[in-house]
Amino acid sequence: MPHFKYFANASLSVSRPAGERTPRGYEQTGADTVLQCRADAQESGRSLERAQQLYETGDVLVFCQKDVVRVEPGDIAQIDMDDGRQLDGSVEEVMPLDRSILISL
């Protein structure tokens, strides 16, 4: 994909909690970075929800410059948009055929 760099509008970092099983149960020891690359992030509509607090819901479809085969649903995603915004969410779906990831905010 030689012209992909023209569409890249964000930096993506996907991590997975790391830990080990101990006599006290599972203990988280940090996070392993699964994927870090430039990407084309396409935001869908967002909505404000009110439960006990006001929060925003939505999702982002991200087309990555690198392979996404190591990414799994449930991984933690952080998107740093070129316009200065930072979006945090979790991976909902991985589509290796077109190197895309659906991230729920």
Residue-wise pLDDT tens for the chain (105 aa)?
Answer: 444 667 899 999 999 988 888 888 888 888 999 999 999 999 887 666 666 776 667 899 999 999 999 999 999 999 999 999 999 999 999 999 999 999 998
Predicted pLDDT of residue 29: 85
Closest by Cα among 90, 92, 73, 99 to 13:
90
Top CATH class, 4-104: mainly beta
Provide the pLDDT for residue 100: 95
pTM of the model: 0.80
Task: Specify whether the backbone of 73 is left (phi greater than 0), alpha (psi in -120 to 50) or beta.
Answer: beta
Predicted confidence at residue 57, as pLDDT, reads 75
